[in-house]
Amino acid sequence: MMNSPVSIKRTIILALCALVLSIFLPPLYAQENRPSSQDKESTQLIGKWEIYETKEPGKPYLSSYKGRPFVSKGANAFTLVLEYRNDGTFKRIARIGESETAEEGTWSLAGHELRHKRKGVQEEEIMYIRFDGRDRYVSTEVFEDSSDPGLFAKFKRI
C-alpha cells in the first residue's frame, strides 16, 4: 500500500509540530516552578522573628506601651518570638518573666495577608504585613468592632 502525498505531508507537519513543542514546552513547564514575587515574600518570612515595638488600638504609636521594654530572656522577660518554617508551619513563643508558652500551627502569606491557624483554635488570625527591608517587618491586626486600624507590631529577624 502506497502513502499518498497528503498523508506524507501530514506526517511531516506532525513531526515538525512535535519537534517545535518539545523545544518550547519544557521552558513553559519550568516557569511554573519559578518562584513568583509572592513566593519570594513567603521565603523572606521564613526564620525567627522577635517583636520590638507595638501600638495598641486607639493609642498613639510612641506612648502605647507605657515604656515597658521587650526583654528576650530572664526574670524580666517580656517578648514574643515567631518562627516560620519552610513547610508552612510556625511556632509562637511568648515569654513573661520566667514563664514561657509555646503554640504551633500553620501559616500562609498571600500578598500582604498573613494567616495563622493555631492548633486547637477554631478561628484564623489574619494580619497584614509590610517588609521594611530583609530583616524587619510590620504587622497590623484589624479589629472589626473598632474604628482604629488595630494592633501594630514591629518585628526584627533574630
Closest to 42 measured CA to CA, from 110, 90, 133 = 110
Instruction: Return the domain boundaries, the chain.
Output: 1-34, 37-157
> pLDDT tens across 49-64, in order?
999 887 765 565 555 4
SS3 2: coil
Domain 37-157 has CATH 2.40.128.280: yes
Residues lower than pLDDT 70 in the chain: 1-6, 17-38, 56-68, 142-150
> Tell me, what's the pLDDT at 28?
47
**How many angstroms separate the CA atoms of 4 and 27, rounded?**
36
Q: DSSP string covering 23-87, please?
A: HHHHHHHHHHTS--HHHHHHHHH-EEEEEEEEE-TTS-TTTTTTTPPPB-SSTT-EEEEEEE-TT
> Tell me, what's the pLDDT at 36?
43
Kindly report whether the global pTM for this prediction surpasses the value 0.85. no
